[in-house]
Amino acid sequence: MAEPRISSIDGKLAEEFAVPSHVGEVKEKMTAFAVHHATAGRRVVLITSGGTKVPLESRTVRFLDNFSSGRRGASSAEYFIESGYAVIFLHRHRSLYPYTRMFSTMNMLDALKFTSDDGASSNSEVVVNQQVLPNIAKVLKRYQEVKESRLLLPIEFNTLSEYLHLLKAAAQALSTIGSKAMFYLAAAVSDFYIPASEMPEHKIQSSNGPLQLSMNMVPKILSPLVKDWAPQAFVISFKLETDATILLDKARRALETYRHQAVVANVLDSRRGYVMVVTPETQVELILTEEDEKNDVEIEDRIVNNLTSAHNKFITRQGG
């Protein structure tokens, strides 16, 4: 059998980004999850979600963060599960999470009440206040069913290093199921970092005057993912801009550079109601109308719908 290609990015990853101690164990878990679900006839999607943190000091007080609430990843996970997929949810610690996301703005104590007026007496129980949380039973039921059938495998990251190593491990784990695997790379990933060898150990002192930072470019992980780590998979990246006039061009350029299957392009301010799904042959606008918004339709429902049918066609073309 041919040896897998070692790209220069593999070397850089090993040298400049601290390897998380649990990466081997997580990779085994992801492989077992993928094989189990693919054997049962399910497709598996790896969703990345949330922003990465880049430390400025090795005993970190300060870091550079990327904006992302994690809502796109968390809600998409739910829609993929409803479409018959099993989901590996690689997400930033404490970013929004499938199902619980619906209650993320709520103070838990406001949603609870005692069954009797004398509060914490021994025969009073704590129950959910239905006025505050009218939909909780429905969401709880679905959450428990999903948990029971092990359709969701959550994996957490915090730093850019953790994200990069865990994504590589996930790609290698999912390569075992070929074209049944989808990558949905919605996390907001830093383009810049400070290599471990150049990072000061201790807290940077303001007494040394204004801070000037020089940061390296983060290796383009999409390239080895598509070419080497999971070459048969269906891969979707996300492109985020604040200037709508350059968005489409950037999405097209990404497709030409990495030769993957689709880019979901969005502008920060309008991302909840408008995205463009760009493939080498097509370009589809997904837009929520006022009516949709009134009916609580989420744009992730449309995105997932579009991409699962594209994945279907992709699998048919691959003969798998």
In the bound state with ligand 9Z3, the residue whose beta carbon lies nearer, of 69 and 283, is: 69
How many chain residues bind ligand 9Z3 (CB under 6 A)? 14
- Three-class secondary structure of residue 291 per DSSP: helix
Separation CA 206–CA 208 (nearest Å): 5
Nearer to ligand 9Z3, 37 or 91 (CB): 91
Q: What is the dihedral of CA 224, 229, 235, 238, to 10 degrees?
A: -40
| Residue 189 interacting with ligand 9Z3 (CB under 6 A) | yes
- The conformation of residue 18, written as its DSSP 8-state character, comes to P
Burial call 215-240: b when 16+ CB within 10 Å, e when fewer:
eeebbebbbbbbebbbeebbbbbbbb
Task: Lay out the site mask for ligand 9Z3 across 63-92 (x = CB under 6 A, - = otherwise).
Answer: -----xxxxx--------------------
**What would the two tokens of residue 275 be?**
């995205």
Would you say 252 and 281 are in contact if contact means Cβ atoms under 8 Å apart?
no
Residues with Cβ within 8 Å of residue 274, at least 6 apart in sequence: 266, 267, 285, 286, 287, 288, 299
**Whose Cβ is closer to ligand 9Z3: residue 153's or residue 222's?**
222
The residue from 31, 179, 261, 266 that contacts ligand 9Z3 (CB under 6 A) is 266
CB of residue 260 to ligand 9Z3, shortest distance in Å:
10
Q: Is 188 in the site for ligand 9Z3 (CB under 6 A)?
A: yes
Select the residue interacting with ligand 9Z3 from 238, 286, 304, 311 (CB under 6 A): 238
Minimum CB separation of residue 99 from ligand 9Z3 in Å reads 16
SS3 248: helix
180 forms part of the interface with ligand 9Z3 (CB under 6 A):
no
Q: State which of positions 113-132 bind ligand 9Z3 (CB under 6 A).
A: none
> Coil, strand, or helix at residue 126?
strand
Residue 258 or 314: the one with the smaller Cβ distance to ligand 9Z3 is 258
Question: Which of residues 190 and 308 has its CB atom nearest to ligand 9Z3 in the complex?
Answer: 190
> CB of residue 266 vs ligand 9Z3: minimum separation in angstroms?
5
Number of Cβ within a 10 Å radius of residue 12: 15
Closer residue to ligand 9Z3 (CB): 17 or 238: 238
Among 76, 159, 161, 237, binds ligand 9Z3 (CB under 6 A): 237
Q: What Å distances lie between residue 295 and 12, 79, 104, 289, CA to CA?
A: 48, 16, 20, 10
- Measured between alpha carbons, how far is 119 from 100 in angstroms, rounded to an integer? 27
Q: Which stretch binds ligand 9Z3 (CB under 6 A): 28-36, 38-46, 157-165, 234-242?
A: 234-242
Is position 166 an interface residue for ligand 9Z3 (rule: CB under 6 A)?
Answer: no
Query: Can residue 271 be called a binding residue for ligand 9Z3 (CB under 6 A)?
Result: yes
- Residues in contact with ligand 9Z3 by the rule CB under 6 A: 68-72, 186, 188-189, 237-240, 266, 271
